Structure 1
């Protein structure tokens, strides 16, 4: 009778290399920089705008442009590089809006960011909408009604990315992809006007 036990080879060296790679400080310095750059500059411009320029329209355009660049870079670049997550919206053949949330499977050879970069990503993604929410209440109570439009647009852009990445993280925590794409996918039909209406 053959022995049913098998020798299992444990690769401790590979585990240590993976731990060392993950604890490296910054692997994607440009992505980490731009993850924070546009959103921090938009906040600084908002705070200093009345002193720098008397034109509300130019301040409004500059802040929204900065936050639009931030929205695009976080959604399309830094999310993939720093945390291995991405999301998007697509329209199917019936004209229905489908939200797609994906999380890259963790592996030894994955090109996702380090633990420090993950912290940078999530702190930037969470703290900045909180700051804009604080600005909302200060504008509301100080009766700076024209600035509310800037703040509401800013909260909408920042909260949309936060919502998308929280859904990605929630769908990909178990590491088992719902389908066999290179990025794991979870298609959830939802109407974007409902999401933005809540924010």
Structure 2
């Protein structure tokens, strides 16, 4: 009876461990911020659709104003909200006491016991962040080739605003990796110095 009880206990532990792994995997795949994920794609996709459908409209000014408003809303939302919530990244500009402007790129550190970023949200974020600027670059080349210069200013604004967010978040991502690399090099450097000094000390004695 005692052996059977111990076997039951081990089976219970393995079952609970399997449930924990399953719940962790589900949390990674689950979209934790559905509203942020929706608006991360809504404004930029809407701007692209309005531009593509502008040929069916007789009012150039109305389409231009609508696209500029959508691009401006997209820039603000992605820069200030969705990047922080969906992938834990943010960037901004600050002015110091001397009046000098500095760009700051931050990456949220995953502390022990805290949930990591959702993989589904991360894919949505980077897919929308990378694909839409590429589309606006294609629009820019098509406007130049077709000599459609009246839309060129709108297209350049789309490339600039969405390209700025893409550049800022890439700097955040790459900057966090550089910090980890510098920490690793400093660690190995100190270890190497300790080993060399430990070897030299016995020889002197």
Please report the TM-score for the alignment, with normalisation by the length of structure 1. 0.75
1:87 aligns with 2:72: no
Change (3 A) 1:109 1:48: farther
Structure-2 separation of matches of 1:171 and 1:149: 32
Deviation at 1:112, TM superposition (A): 5.9
Structure-2 separation of matches of 1:44 and 1:91: 37
Structure 2 counterpart of 1:41, from 46, 54, 59 = 46
Structure 2 counterpart of 1:65, from 59, 64, 69 = 69
**Structure-2 residue corresponding to 1:136:** 140
In structure 1, the gaps of 5 or more residues are 1-11, 179-199
Q: By percentage of residues, which structure has more strand?
A: 1
How many residue pairs get aligned? The number is 165
Structure-2 separation of matches of 1:123 and 1:102: 20
Map residues 47-126 of structure 1 onto 2, 5 A cutoff. Answer: 47-52=52-57, 54-107=58-111, 109-110=113-114, 113-126=117-130
Q: Which has the higher contact order (CA 8 A, sep 6+)?
A: 1
Partner SS state of residue 31, structure 2: coil
Deviation at 1:168, TM superposition (A): 0.6
The structure number with the bigger radius of gyration is 2
Partner SS state of residue 111, structure 2: coil
Structure-2 separation of matches of 1:103 and 1:50: 42
In structure 2, the gaps of 5 or more residues are 1-15, 183-205
